[in-house]
Amino acid sequence: MEFVIVTGMSGAGKTLALRSFEDLGYFCIDNLPPALIPKFADLCAQSEGNITKVAIVVDIRGGQFFKDLNFILQNNGFQFKILFLEAKDDVLIRRFKETRRTHPLALDDRIIDGIAKEREMLEGLRDKANIVIDTSDFTGHQLIAKIKELFKGTDTKDLLITIISFGFKYGIPLDSDMVFDVRFLPNPFYDENLKNYTGNDKNVQDYIMAAKQTSVFLRKLEDMIDFLIPYYKEEGKSQLIISIGCTGGKHRSVTVANKLKEKLQRDGKLAKTFHRDIDKGK
């Protein structure tokens, strides 16, 4: 089991780091009292392989409990890594002011006083860390990308692309990242020999693909998706949802969604389809 303890300075980006670990498939807990770490590790070990990657945030928000961390780390029966996040004082001060948060150790003092106390408390823990990241010059997206680069491993999934076919008469899927309207394509609904079939059937696909505008549209759509994927991955996205709609979500949108999925899969991408409205209106 891979067990990562995320700690460091308040305001250095531990919340963003934990979000990155969640995207990588880690079981994540924020602000776990150190005394519970061994018990939690035992529970994970007893999960029969269902939990293989864990990331927990432990920091000075734990108050009195945080003082137990060094003892716990020195007297444990499991392997772990420590990821320590830090930043320069002026950067931390700016971040606290921008978010209007109070430093956990500066409830009645200046922010800089709380930062100084925290640095003193964390000094020994920083020395024990396997990885130290100074986030002073990082944007949020850059920190997420850095975490994924360091911990993604060899079995981490690539960007998952879900292609949803739908009918506009039933509404646009709310979780769409991109929406395309293919109602300009020839509609098999008006062909008595095709209307009762769907875009999963070859006769409908042949009818729609025979139109010149279909192949042109698909080529341009595929080029655009190929262009966008690296940038979405760079921004830290783990899933991309492309919605393709026609009137009823039964013929044209299903055909185009299937063809796009086939192309992406041929290119080695993780792609799947979901035909939301294919069975409606029967």
Positions at the binding site for ATP:
8-15
How many CB atoms are closer than 10 A to CB 47? 11
**Cβ-based neighbour number of residue 211 at 10 Å:** 14
200 and 275 Cβ atoms separated by less than 8 Å? yes
**In terms of DSSP H, where are the helices of the chain?**
14-23, 37-45, 69-74, 89-99, 111-128, 140-151, 202-209, 212-234, 252-266
Q: How far is residue 206's CA from residue 62's CA, in Å, rounded to a whole number?
A: 63
Number of CB atoms found within 10 A of residue 219's CB: 11
CA distance linking residue 26 with residue 3, whole number of Å: 9
CB 57 within 8 A of CB 14: yes
Please say whether the beta carbons of 243 and 166 come within 8 A.
yes
CA of residue 95 relative to chain centroid, distance: 23
> Residue 70 is encoded by which pair of tokens?
């060094």
Residues 58, 69 contacting (CB under 8 angstroms): yes
Nearest to 250 by CA among 194, 184, 172, 175: 194
Binding-site residues for GTP: 59-62
Binding site as annotated, residues: 8-15, 59-62
